[in-house]
Amino acid sequence: MRGTQSFRMWAVAALMLVGAVLPRLGAAQGDAVKLPDIEKDADRRIAIGIAKYPDLPAETIGSPAENVLAFDFELSGWFQPVPAGMLPPRTLDDWVRRGAEVLADVERTAGGVRGAVRDTGTGEILFERNYTDASGPLRARLHRFTDDVVLALTGEPGLARTKLVCEWDPDDAGRSEKRLVVMDIDGFAMREFTGEDALELGPRWTADGGSIIYTSYASRYPDVYLHSVTMGTRQIVANHEGLNAHGDLSRDGRFMALTMSHAGNPEIYTKDMASGMIRRLTSQGGSDASPTWSPDGRRIAFVSDRTGRPQIYAMDPDGSNLERLTHRGNYNTAPDWSPDGTRIAYCALRSDGFQIQVLDLRSGQVTTVTDRGGCEDPSWSPDGRSILYSQTAGGRTDLYLTNVNERKALRISRGSGRFTDPDWSPIP
Amino acid sequence: MRNPKWSWLSKGAAVLAVAAFVAGCGGSSPQVVTEPELPMEEPTEPTTPPAPRDTTSAYVDPNTQYAEDFRAIHFEFNRYRITEEAKPRLERIATLMKDNAAWKVLIEGHCDERGTNEYNLSLGENRAQSTKQYLVQLGVSETSFQTISYGEERPVDMGQTEAAWAKNRRAEFRIEAPRS
């Protein structure tokens, strides 16, 4: 167990990089301590004590505030929550004995909530801020507090205010057909997205987080729709004869990649969103699917079974420079580019079932990040450190996320029904 | 845009076709997913009006009459090629279609639940397309068909066994016949 002193050094180094967020620690800036490399030290989580907060009762937010914070800090990938437990610590020394390096304090103030983080060794306040009642629902303010703490102590953006969109099959006798739902990344605040009474599949956020592109059978046939989250309006963006699916907008929003079958078998196309002009990129037999833009817009990864079994390929947006990316196994599907464009996560069928794998495009190295089987449809976190996916096990299908280095699965979806094909929103 | 002549392929006819298909299956599967009410979009192009309904003589839905001939054909895992087992069945369907040139047939492609939804959506479309192409090669007019893929979304057997998956990897047929 690392002591508080080593944490202090680490935190100070982090704060130096953030840029003197907390002037009171400025005196330590002369220490030439380097922020640990994220890849190497990804398992180095800060142990954060989560006290009980009696003046923030569960009924106001659906669950106790300490649960909300513990989940958010765990989700961030940077903190390991240390719960108060049955015999809550009363002093900072009690927290030190529990292994907590820092302690999160949240308390009601006049007209708001004050969040603070203290060093359990010195008692020093590392971050504090007041969140007024006017700034939103309490749960949203707790998410905001977590993100602020993550940024202040690590220099990295937090994820607590991000959302996900996924397919949801209520799986009951009255209705068993998928609809799109949006929820907070901690699985709460779930709502049906379109309100349409039709089969809906394959939702993807646009890069600005303002819209969701998906496939709907509202016309009876599969068409691609673009639905504004903020305006609540939607438009059909592809409804040719046959299949129109797997819509994915380039980051600049100018081009949509998609799968269509009006020329025969399913092929990959792009559509110029301004002129409406379509361009066919593939012309092989077999099933092509799941086109997905690289973050820089220079490549499109997709799935094709042109060799007999589905594998992942990449090509330029005009269809040239085709390269096969996966070579092991005979079932590799559902590619998703990491936000920095250096890795692709995908679903691989192995001897131990469907697993999520990550291909490093620079080294060619493949890493398996799940181990229980039944895992599909990976989606990167906007910080590129975690992957959200669906897993079918024990008669349920739920959403999980895993930090790609630690590979510890955290369940996200709650409640009944089956949750599939999630997509993680950008950071708001 | 979609072929306007298919606009008469109405929701009511689809539900009837499903009911006929279910009847034709004779309870071979423990659970059958029926078509939900789907809202139809306002047609933006002129459409062919539905064929007039003859209320005086007994209308026999061809989906009922030929249920045995038009029952689903099945596929191997992750494959869309027509199996040897399905070929004589498609030959019979081609003969019936050539004898009933007014029929329009909707071919639905389906997959088992394993694997990625997105890939299965393309695979289901290819199953429908390869079925259609086989029938076209047998001399049926290409314009007699419409295809739709449901991927893994509409299984006929909810089981998680090889037998259930085999049932779900299929192409189904819906005859849409003008009533005269």
Q: Do A333 and B80 touch (CB under 8 A)?
A: no
Question: What are A58-109's pLDDT values in tens digits?
Answer: 666 678 889 999 999 999 999 999 988 888 898 999 999 999 999 999 998 8
Q: Do B121 and A286 touch (CB under 8 A)?
A: no
Chain B contact for A243 (CB, 8 A cutoff) = yes
Domains of chain A, CATH where assigned: 4-154 (3.40.50.10070), 163-424 (2.120.10.30)
Question: What are A102-160's pLDDT values in tens digits?
Answer: 999 999 888 889 999 999 999 999 999 999 988 888 899 999 999 999 999 999 999 99
- The CA distance from A331 to the nearest CA of chain B, in Å, is 8
Chain B contact for A355 (CB, 8 A cutoff) = no
Alpha-carbon distance values, A17 to A20, A24, A122, A152 (Å): 8, 15, 22, 10
| Measured distance CA(A62)–CA(A304) in Å, rounded | 45
Q: Do B38 and A266 touch (CB under 8 A)?
A: no
Residues 6+ apart with CB under 8 A from B143: none
Q: Which residues of B touch A349 (CB under 8 A)?
A: 115
SS3 of chain B: helix, strand, coil, percent, to 5: 35, 15, 50
Which of A179, A215, A221 should we substitute to test contact with B (largest number of B Cβ atoms within 10 Å)? A221
Is pLDDT of A24 > 80?
no
- The upper half-sphere exposure of residue A192, i.e. CA atoms within 13 Å in the direction of its Cβ, equals 12
User: pLDDT tier at A44 (50, 70, 90 boundaries)?
Assistant: confident
DSSP string spanning A123-165?
Answer: --EEEEEEEEGGGS-HHHHHHHHHHHHHHHHHSS---TT-EEE
Q: Tokens 């990316």 label which residue?
A: A325
Which of A244, A287, A419 should we substitute to test contact with B (largest number of B Cβ atoms within 10 Å)? A287
The number of residues making up chain B comes to 180
Chain B contact for A215 (CB, 8 A cutoff) = yes
Q: Do A333 and B119 touch (CB under 8 A)?
A: yes
Q: Do A303 and B118 touch (CB under 8 A)?
A: yes
Considering only the beta carbons, identify the residue of B116, B149, B151 that sits closest to A333. B116
Please, what is the angle between helix B117-137 and helix B87-99, to 10°?
A: 60
User: pLDDT tier at A57 (50, 70, 90 boundaries)?
Assistant: low
> pTM of the entire structure?
0.83
- The CA distance from B92 to the nearest CA of chain A, in Å, is 24
Give B45-52's long-range contacts (Cβ < 8 A, gap of 24+): B45/B1, B45/B4, B45/B7, B46/B4, B47/B4, B47/B5, B47/B7, B47/B8, B48/B4, B48/B5, B48/B7, B48/B8, B49/B8, B50/B8, B50/B10, B51/B8, B51/B178, B51/B179, B51/B180, B52/B179
Q: Where are the domains of chain B?
A: 4-26+59-176
Which CATH superfamily is B4-26+59-176 part of?
A: OmpA-like domain (3.30.1330.60)
User: pLDDT tier at B27 (50, 70, 90 boundaries)?
Assistant: very low
Nearest residue in chain B measured CA to CA from A312: B119
Question: What are A268-312's pLDDT values in tens digits?
Answer: 999 999 999 999 999 988 899 999 999 999 999 999 999 999 999
| Measured distance CA(A143)–CA(A139) in Å, rounded | 6
What's residue A137's pLDDT? Answer: 87
Nearest residue in chain B measured CA to CA from A355: B115
Task: Assess: ipTM above 0.95.
Answer: no
Q: Residue window 37-96, chain B: list those with CB within 8 Å of chain A.
A: 37-41, 78, 80
Beta bridge partners of A301: A292, A314
Report the candidate in A355, A365, A362 with the shortest Cα–Cα distance to residue A327: A365
Considering only the beta carbons, identify the residue of B39, B115, B122 that sits closest to A243. B122
Q: Which residues of B touch A310 (CB under 8 A)?
A: 78, 115, 119
